[in-house]
Amino acid sequence: MVQVTLEPLKIPDRLRMPAVFEREWTEPANKLRPRILLPAAFTGPSPIAPGEHRVFIVFNRKGGAGKTTTTLELACAWAAMGYTVRIIDADPQDAGLTGWLAPVYPEGLDPKHRLTLKNVMYGEAGLDEATYYTTRYKNLYIVPSYEDCAVVEYDPAVNGERTLRRAIKRSEAPVDITIVDCPPKVGKLSTFTLAIGGEVLVPSQLSGLDKKSNEPLRRTIADAQEEYDVRVRAAVLTAWGKTIISRSVGNEMAEHYPDALVCPVRRSVDATTAPDENQSIREYNKRSTTTRDFDQLGHMLVAPRGAAE
């Protein structure tokens, strides 16, 4: 397999979304302007120092919110900045990142003996042993999971809420960023991922049904915050467009997560087509609006190494 090296994008200023200290879209829906809403206390991103390890959890229990897309595109944006990024695929369904990224396993290894997230959850393997360093993209690693990982949900033997948290703490792999893609489920895997603690990113599609799930989602995160160091860093408005519901969900997310960025990621056909080519949107079309928006979000969360703080 020829690995793809992801490169930084050159985005002209006129194509960037403005980042503003506002918490509300007030204009009519047909005149809606995409912009990144900053929280009052926003001080700008910092680069990751050598030896430092940042953990992001992409969380929403609603199906189809944009979790997997957000995880991959941010991971690619950070890999293009020169960071090493490990994705933990915590979603056992087939339509996930393990299938999308196709990790390369040692030649001749019987699939039965692959170490995956399931082995980590059962305490049979450390996170580093279950990390595969060769994927389609250079500097992008993955802890894979397959459908058999779903057993975790109903096996009482898996009860360590802090298993994943401990596994990440013990990891010594040369990784700057770990990003976790959560399953669309109220269950152990999603609870255990929040228990890791760290920076949470909440994607939501812009529909009435997604809006209905956003208040229970807020409560779930608030409950987790009582026990764990969970900070919501960004709400990601998936497949954003100039609609009344985009404005309404966007404004609600700004209210629910007052300390978070609220970032539109515009709708495009590239986003829906890229997985069919087994490519990230960034690789499929580096000029896509969706690629640019994710790149911009990536830069709002983490500064490139060498950037002034």
Ligand X SMILES: Nc1ncnc2c1ncn2[C@@H]1O[C@H](COP(=O)(O)OP(=O)(O)OP(=O)(O)O)[C@@H](O)[C@H]1O
* Positions in the binding site for ligand X (CB under 6 A): 63-69, 91, 184, 238-239, 265, 267-268, 271-272, 290
Burial (0-12, 13-18, 19+ Cβ within 10 Å), 225: middle
CB 301 within 8 A of CB 57: no
DSSP 220: H
- In angstroms, give the least distance from the CB of 217 to ligand X: 12
- In angstroms, give the least distance from the CB of 120 to Mg ion: 19
- In angstroms, give the least distance from the CB of 276 to Mg ion: 15
Is 131 among the residues that bind Mg ion (CB under 5 A)? no
- Helix (H) or strand (E) holding 56, with range, is strand 54-58
Is 67 among the residues that bind Mg ion (CB under 5 A)? yes
Interface of this chain with Mg ion, residues 189 to 218, rule: CB under 5 A:
none
- In angstroms, give the least distance from the CB of 95 to ligand X: 6
Report what 66 binds from ligand X, Mg ion, none; CB cut-off 5-8 Å by kind.
Answer: ligand X
Is 68 among the residues that bind Mg ion (CB under 5 A)? yes
Instruction: Point out which residues pair with 71 in neighbouring strands.
Output: none
Burial (0-12, 13-18, 19+ Cβ within 10 Å), 99: middle
| Nearest residue to the partner Mg ion, using Cβ | 68
Closest CB to ligand X among residues 280, 290: 290
- In angstroms, give the least distance from the CB of 226 to ligand X: 25
Is 116 among the residues that bind Mg ion (CB under 5 A)? no
Copy the structure tokens of residue 251: 């404004």
- In angstroms, give the least distance from the CB of 184 to ligand X: 3
Q: What count of other Cβ atoms lies within 10 Å of the Cβ of residue 119? A: 19
Burial 172-182 (b: 16+ CB within 10 A, else e): eeebbbbbbbb
Report what 296 binds from Mg ion, ligand X, none; CB cut-off 5-8 Å by kind.
Answer: none
Report what 86 binds from Mg ion, ligand X, none; CB cut-off 5-8 Å by kind.
Answer: none
| Nearest residue to the partner ligand X, using Cβ | 184
Q: CA-to-CA distance for 236 and 293, rounded, in angstroms?
A: 10
Report what 85 binds from ligand X, Mg ion, none; CB cut-off 5-8 Å by kind.
Answer: none
Report what 290 binds from ligand X, Mg ion, none; CB cut-off 5-8 Å by kind.
Answer: ligand X
Q: CA-to-CA distance for 176 and 86, rounded, in angstroms?
A: 8
CB 217 within 8 A of CB 61: yes
Q: CA-to-CA distance for 54 and 65, rounded, in angstroms?
A: 23
Angle ∠(90,138,92) on CA atoms, nearest 5: 15
Q: Which stretch binds Mg ion (CB under 5 A): 1-9, 12-20, 60-68, 158-166?
A: 60-68
- In angstroms, give the least distance from the CB of 106 to ligand X: 28
Residue 90's closest CA among 165, 156, 140? 165
Closest CB to Mg ion among residues 68, 238: 68
User: What residues line the site for Mg ion (CB under 5 A)?
Assistant: 67-68
